[in-house]
Amino acid sequence: MRIGTQNIQNPENYKYKILAVDDEEGIVDSLSIFLKRSGYDFTGVTDPIKAVELVKTEHFDLMILDFIMTPFHGDQVVEEIRKFNKDLYILLLTGHKDLAPPLDTIRRLDIQGYCEKSDKFDQLLLLIESGIKSIEQMNHIKKINDELSDTYEKLEHAYLESIQTLRYTIEAKDIYTRGHSDRVAAYSVLIGKRLGLSDDDLKTLQIGGLFHDIGKIGVPDSIIQKEGKLDDDEYSQIKQHPNIGVHILSNASIFKDILPIVEHHHEKYDGTGYPGKLAGEDIPYLARIAAVADSFDAMASKRAYREALPIDRIISEFMRCRGTQFDPDIDDVFIDILENHFDEIKEIQEKYK
């Protein structure tokens, strides 16, 4: 394989790093001369194992990879690289087209192109130039996406602060529910841990608990603050707060995972709850957990019309409502917490008075 006659000098090319891998040292040397003459930042190795390690530790824009090598063929090298790097642009060199890997392998490993070895580099150069253009486009798109993401994160942060303000406004309406959302969030996480939920689910439970009642901002103060029993019309209005909450939070993608909690934390296991009258397994699982936490805090908190219920009365209520209002498995776990780990409940109550 000899060097072609091109003598291209393009200083712009130097910002692109090319790694060539071929177990024939003469080919690596020829590629080095040719690609450096073309202006590229070039690294060449004859050991495919070393090539994988280089890709792990350094940034390369494009790789030129021989297919038939020892101790690993080129497709095996790509297989390893794709485990940790999906972006590297890879061109495969083959001694003969009949020795190229199957087309489905090329697609599966996201190999962008291949060409036969020849005594000139003309075809390879065209593939490299095409690859560089693709890399430039992808880098430009990534830059735009990063800028949009940064702007979007700032907007979502501002939106989150606004929603937090709404949450505090709701709790300020009624001194008897101050700290309610913080406690529901903490109780939900406590139950979730006992159920062995993932960190992602625990985070969703926490955020869902904090904002589960955000829709009450749309309920008149006279209803929120009423000391006596609500009449049918007032109760109908209070039942709208889950839907109002979803409407408020659905404008930001950061809240998408908690929407089922916000919408369904007043559903009952027997299907008599609201707003959807969902039953059993149709109620989102995390919403079933939040429903237990929400109900406990309502029972354990002082209200204008009654004192907080004693713990033995609360346990009796959870036993009575097992399988009707509450998911029986979640109910059992929470009763165990109340009976055997009440110190953890007290700790939450002290923290969010």
- Give the residue among 132, 137, 135, 131 at the shortest CA–CA distance from 114: 131
Classify strands 17-21 and 41-45 as parallel, antiparallel or unpaired.
parallel
- Give the residue among 290, 341, 339 at the shortest CA–CA distance from 319: 339
Is residue 45 a contact partner of residue 54, using CB atoms and an 8 Å limit?
yes
- Give the residue among 242, 274, 353, 262 at the shortest CA–CA distance from 308: 353
Q: Encoding tokens for residue 8?
A: 């291209």
Catalytic hit among 120, 216, 229, 353: 216
Residue carrying structure tokens 């917490």 = 337
216 catalytic per annotation: yes
DSSP H helices, the chain, are 25-37, 48-57, 74-81, 103-108, 122-173, 180-194, 199-211, 221-224, 232-238, 241-249, 259-264, 285-300, 311-320, 328-340, 342-351
Q: Which residues are part of the catalytic machinery?
A: 216
